[in-house]
Amino acid sequence: MASITQFNPSSPKRDLIIMVVFAVAVLTAPIWLAPVGASYPDLLQRFAIFGIFALGFNILFGLTGYLSFGHAAFLGVGSYAAVWIFKLLTMNVVLAIIFGVLVAAIFAVVVGFICLRRSGIYFAILTLAFAQMFYNLAYSVLTPITNGETALTLALDDPRAIDAMFGVDHGAGLPAPSLFGLELTGFTAFYFCAVVLIIAFWVSLKIFRSPFGLKLLAIKSNQNRMLYTGFNPKPYLLVAFVISGMYAGLAGSLMVITDPLAGAERMQWTASGEVVLMTILGGAGTLIGPLLGAGIIKYFENIFSALHHAQLAESFGFLPNALVEPVVSVVSLFVGEGWHLTLGILFMLVVIFLPGGLMEGIRRLSAYVRAKRAGDGEETVAGGATQPSE
Amino acid sequence: MDTILLQLLNGLDKGGAYALIALGLTLVFGTLGVVNFAHGALFMLGAFVAVSVNALFTISKRVKDESVTFFDAYKEQPYLEIWFGDTGTALIQWSVPIAILVAIPVMLVIGLAMERGLIRFFYKRPHAEQILVTFGLAIVIGEIIKATYGANPIPVHAPPPVAGAAPIGALFGGNEALVYPWWRLIYLAGSLGIIAAVFSFLQFTTYGMVVRAGMADRETVGLLGINIEKRFTIVFGIAAVVAGVAGTMYTPILPPDYNLGMNFLVLSFVVVVVGGMGSLPGAVLAGFLLGVVQSFASIGAVKEIVPGIDQIIIYLIAVGILLARPRGLLGRKGVMET
Amino acid sequence: MNDIVLDVSDVNKTFGGLQALSNINLKINKGKTHAVIGPNGAGKSTLLNVCVGRLEPDTGSVMFDGTNLTGRTPHEINQLGVARVFQTPEIFLDLTLLQNVEIAALARRDGSFSFNPFKAMAAEKELTREAEHMLGEVGLGKLTEEHTGNLSRGDKRRLEMAMCLIQHPKLLLLDEPTAGMSRHDTNRTIDLLKRIKEQGMTKVIIEHDMHVVFSLADWITVLAQGTIIAEGTPDEIRGNPKVKEAYLGGAEV
């Protein structure tokens, strides 16, 4: 039994508690993340945005088992769409987000319709191919829309028609995104993203508890039985694909609220791979897992990629002098520019040893502890396997 | 007319690379049942064998530059030149052909190590996990190359006698001015040679016959008491050599960087889908076909009509094939249908 | 008033030169239990596959309750009221028994597609009660919260039957429902099927076990090498020499 395919119908009361705890945890993140040095708005926003991205990816991969390798494309599309709204119409983020999500949805309908004609490996390859195609196009023919390598940015002479109509004055410099006059910078921006994350999580929770979610899990479990039970799996898969594409578009448009700039590198396969990693690291198919994975990866990326040689030499100063240099040069392979190497190794380790992700690890650990406590000398399997094979 | 000939040759060149990678992918998939996302990384590693051999040959010593007389100037002179004179210079110039010879054992070892060290533990695991772990491996290999050689493409040159252009116009009795790089012609011949070698190996050796039988029906062959696992390990090694040597040969055409593998991998997957998953002739046919199509799509006149068509033509074809004939051009029914 | 539920007429099916079904004609009356028997490779499963849309016949047609089934997908055919129990149990592993049956009930209630992400499964009280009742009916009432991976083969098949029955199909197709079951389990299954019969459900059973066939069937069709060699009531079939021959000295017949 590789991945977790379980449906938890839960109860309205329990879900309410989950929602309240989650909302409190997210909104107080600046406080409880302070001790680990992660309480500045820029990083907190990244947690929220990638959390949304991973939540959406999980609705597809976690529930249906269809592995998409091209989800970053929808994120990129959402970013471009949102920046265009900023440029042409208004700096008010509401419209930008709606448009970003909508455009991502349209792309997801088209891509999903085609890719979902196949499953398994074919599906993974096809989504990857589509993402590469969008990436190539963004750098070539579509440069009038994407601005190619220089990335799409705001300019002083952008029309911003709606703002102009209502006489919104953005001052002399480049305008900042706002929510009905409230300028979204610093912690304000984080709290905005946090609220969006809470809503996104609520939707995801609802889907997980719904008959729709149960049917998606059933498709993952046995598509053949689904057919003979009278279900047409295709529209279910397409809807799941489009929802997860919309989450990606939402994440993409939130990204440009933090920093009004959209570049094609956001759509590269490495970016698609990253969201896959986040999801499986935390635990695909679990509610919280993907958020956990996104948080951990973004946190360590932040720390690791900022480290450089001198800092390392300092932190390894306790070693004998002759050792410092070799140790530092080995370690520096994995930090700074080498962060992606760490990521790749992490990716492999998770897949090899913990395909169920951290949530699976936690489950096993707690099962182990319980078994320890319960039975002295009793032969309880520590694997926490709930489904012994026949 | 000349443009068409040139683009045909260009397309066949590119198609050769696609075909060789797709061939290996198909072999590994057909025998081991594993989809190897790190297969492109093998192509890239092969290219970096050439870079490494070249770097090794040109390890230099700082010597005084005698040609500068009015102040003390220094230049780098490769040890090979210092030790062996002209022979050393020739070795450096011929580093790509030498690298091909080096690449064969090196890639074989890398391939076997990869299969024994990682892939074999994934035979019985879900396809999604196979994809994920090899994807992780591809990242790791790419990043190691980046850490070693930097992020920029590194050019390696073809040996001087074939570094120039071949007067193909004159050879075929056409336009005298029509020329084409010698190395690209050699590369094309080389890819065809490798493809022929792989097919004859599968067709005419008993070893190859067992492998083919195993691809068709693994269980039955296993029941005959033949140790399939061991043979399939070697198949993985062969696939690694094929991809690697293709990469080595490709260096004078395209200076490699650490991203080379993934760029080619995605296209090669598309090739496999178009050719028909599990079909070796399909992989080769689709490889050349798509290479040529892509090449023709990048002709200026074509691009004027449909801008950007060269960037997406391959994907469009893949989508079209998928809608019209989901099995691919030469795919067998029942392969990877789930 | 048409009493014929399933009408298979002139169906032919070949697989690469091999005639799997030739000129099959079958009429199945409402409320009857119809058994299809025959030696291995006689085409029984092919016939069933044609009926559920897994295979398309080369020629001929399959009419169900006045609707032509040829060219329809399996989920459409199910929605018309045909449910199937497979030879090797096809269930949703990892999900609980209750959820397995609930999914089947959802298919009957919501049709082949419905998008209701904001409804909670926990609020589907009626559905759950019905599913629990059905599991009790097939003798799995104590295992509702178990995961199906833990079940024995016989229990899996009973679960699959519960999944089919909760859909209240007009026609139930059973492909060797007792294969691999112990004698005790087989008898329980026979009792279950008899009870269903009282509710007036039409059934087609493919079966090797003659004990099962003769306890349940109203009418028997004997297939051999893709053709119907005999038809009749259990008593007629019992005494038919052709049938004995087809089973190569099947003395028990």
Chain B (136-175) residues lying within 8 Å, Cβ to Cβ, of chain A? 136-140, 142-144, 146-147
According to the model, what pLDDT value does residue B65 have?
A: 76
Determine, for residues B140 and A2 on separate chains, whether the beta-carbon distance falls below 8 Å: no
According to the model, what pLDDT value does residue A17 have?
A: 93
Helix (H) or strand (E) holding C47: helix C44-51
Determine, for residues A11 and C122 on separate chains, whether the beta-carbon distance falls below 8 Å: yes
- Positive/negative CA dihedral, A380, A381, A382, A387: negative
Q: How confident is the model at residue A386 (pLDDT cuts 50, 70, 90)?
A: very low
| Span A283-308, pLDDT tens digits | 999 999 999 999 999 998 888 887 77
**What residues have CB less than 8 Å from B300, skipping those under 6 apart?**
none
According to the model, what pLDDT value does residue B299 have?
A: 81
Q: Is the pLDDT of residue A377 over 60?
A: no
Mean pLDDT of C137-147: 86
According to the model, what pLDDT value does residue B64 have?
A: 78
d(CA B167, CA B175): 9
Counting one residue from A and one from B, how many pairs have CB atoms under 8 Å apart? 116
According to the model, what pLDDT value does residue B103 have?
A: 93
Q: Is the pLDDT of residue A385 over 80?
A: no
Length of chain A: 390
- Positive/negative CA dihedral, A300, A303, A306, A307: negative
Q: Is the pLDDT of residue C106 over 60?
A: yes
Mean pLDDT of C9-32: 87
Q: Which of A67, A132, A277 sits opposite B128 (nearest CB)?
A: A67
Mean pLDDT of A239-252: 97
Determine, for residues A128 and B266 on separate chains, whether the beta-carbon distance falls below 8 Å: yes
**Of 3.40.50.300, 3.30.70.920, 3.30.470.20, 3.60.70.12, which CATH number belongs to C1-81+169-253?**
3.40.50.300
Task: Give A-chain residues touching B312 at CB under 8 angstroms.
Answer: 133, 136-137
| Beta carbons of C253 and C244 less than 8 angstroms apart | yes
Higher local confidence (pLDDT), C85 or A390 = C85
Q: Locate the chain A residue with the closest alpha carbon to B35.
A: A121
Mean pLDDT of B182-192: 90
Mean pLDDT of C3-12: 88
Smallest CA–CA distance, residue C245 to chain A, in Å, is: 36
Assigned token pair, C219? 């009418």
Q: Is the pLDDT of residue A388 over 60?
A: no
Q: Locate the chain B residue with the closest alpha carbon to A119.
A: B338
| Span B228-246, pLDDT tens digits | 777 778 889 999 999 999 9
Q: How confident is the model at residue B92 (pLDDT cuts 50, 70, 90)?
A: confident
Assigned token pair, B168? 């193909």
Determine, for residues C91 and A222 on separate chains, whether the beta-carbon distance falls below 8 Å: yes
Return mean pLDDT, chain B: 84
Q: Which of A2, A118, A142 sits opposite B129 (nearest CB)?
A: A2
Mean pLDDT of B192-204: 91
Q: Is the pLDDT of residue B134 over 60?
A: yes
| Beta carbons of A347 and B136 less than 8 angstroms apart | yes
Mean pLDDT of A79-86: 93
Q: Locate the chain C residue with the closest alpha carbon to A11.
A: C122
According to the model, what pLDDT value does residue B307 have?
A: 74
According to the model, what pLDDT value does residue B333 have?
A: 59
Q: Which of A217, A221, A228 sits opposite C74 (nearest CB)?
A: A228
Q: What percent of chain A has pLDDT over 70?
A: 94
Higher local confidence (pLDDT), C31 or B337 = C31
Assigned token pair, C85? 């129990």
CA torsion, ordered A213, A215, A217, A221, to nearest 10 deg: 180
Helix (H) or strand (E) holding A256: helix A233-258
What region does A357 belong to: left with phi over 0, alpha with psi -120 to 50, or beta?
A: left
Q: Does A138 touch chain B (CB under 8 A)?
A: no
Smallest CA–CA distance, residue A347 to chain B, in Å, is: 5
d(CA C95, CA A217): 8
pTM of the model: 0.88
Smallest CA–CA distance, residue B115 to chain A, in Å, is: 14
Q: How confident is the model at residue A3 (pLDDT cuts 50, 70, 90)?
A: very low
Please, where are the H alpha helices in chain B?
A: 2-32, 39-57, 79-84, 86-93, 95-117, 127-149, 168-171, 182-204, 206-216, 218-223, 228-250, 260-275, 280-297, 300-305, 309-324
- Domain ranges in chain C with CATH number 3.40.50.300: 1-81+169-253
Task: Give A-chain residues touching C83 at CB under 8 angstroms.
Answer: 228
**What residues have CB less than 8 Å from C160, skipping those under 6 apart?**
C85, C86, C89, C90, C91
Among B34-48, B320-334, C185-199, the least confident range: B320-334
Q: Is the pLDDT of residue B49 over 90?
A: yes
Smallest CA–CA distance, residue A225 to chain B, in Å, is: 14
Residue C36 pairs in a beta bridge with: C206, C221
Q: How confident is the model at residue A243 (pLDDT cuts 50, 70, 90)?
A: very high
Q: How confident is the model at residue B223 (pLDDT cuts 50, 70, 90)?
A: low
A interface mutation test: which of C54, C121, C163, C171 has the most A CBs within 10 A?
A: C121
Task: Give C-chain residues touching A230 at CB under 8 angstroms.
Answer: 75, 78-79, 104, 107-108, 111-112, 167
According to the model, what pLDDT value does residue A2 have?
A: 41
Higher local confidence (pLDDT), B218 or C35 = C35
Q: Is the pLDDT of residue A387 over 80?
A: no
ipTM of the assembly?
A: 0.89
Q: How confident is the model at residue A376 (pLDDT cuts 50, 70, 90)?
A: low
| Span B256-295, pLDDT tens digits | 988 888 888 888 888 888 888 778 899 999 999 999 998 8
Determine, for residues C113 and A236 on separate chains, whether the beta-carbon distance falls below 8 Å: yes
Helix (H) or strand (E) holding C14: strand C4-15
Return mean pLDDT, chain C: 86
Q: Do chains C and B touch (3 or more CB pairs under 8 A)?
A: no
A379 in helix, strand or coil?
Answer: coil
| Span A31-52, pLDDT tens digits | 998 888 788 888 999 999 999 9
Q: Is the pLDDT of residue A382 over 50?
A: no
Task: Give A-chain residues touching B273 at CB under 8 angstroms.
Answer: 122, 125-126
Determine, for residues A269 and B262 on separate chains, whether the beta-carbon distance falls below 8 Å: yes
Mean pLDDT of A193-210: 96
Q: Locate the chain A residue with the closest alpha carbon to B134.
A: A348
Q: Does A270 touch chain C (CB under 8 A)?
A: no
Q: How confident is the model at residue A319 (pLDDT cuts 50, 70, 90)?
A: confident
| Span A204-221, pLDDT tens digits | 999 999 999 999 999 999
Q: Locate the chain A residue with the closest alpha carbon to B120.
A: A352
Q: Is the pLDDT of residue B104 over 50?
A: yes
- Amino acid identity of residue B273, one-letter, is V
Q: Is the pLDDT of residue B29 over 50?
A: yes
According to the model, what pLDDT value does residue A199 have?
A: 97
| Span A124-183, pLDDT tens digits | 888 988 888 898 888 888 888 888 788 888 887 888 878 777 877 777 777 888 888 778
DSSP states along A330-355? HHTTTSGGGHHHHHHHHHHHHHHH-T
According to the model, what pLDDT value does residue A380 have?
A: 42
DSSP states along C122-187? GG-HHHHHHHHHHHHHTT-GGGTTSBGGG--HHHHHHHHHHHHHTT--SEEEEESTTTT--HHHHH
Q: Does A119 touch chain B (CB under 8 A)?
A: yes
Q: Is the pLDDT of residue B336 over 50?
A: no
Determine, for residues B322 and A117 on separate chains, whether the beta-carbon distance falls below 8 Å: yes
Q: Does A206 touch chain B (CB under 8 A)?
A: no
According to the model, what pLDDT value does residue B214 have?
A: 75
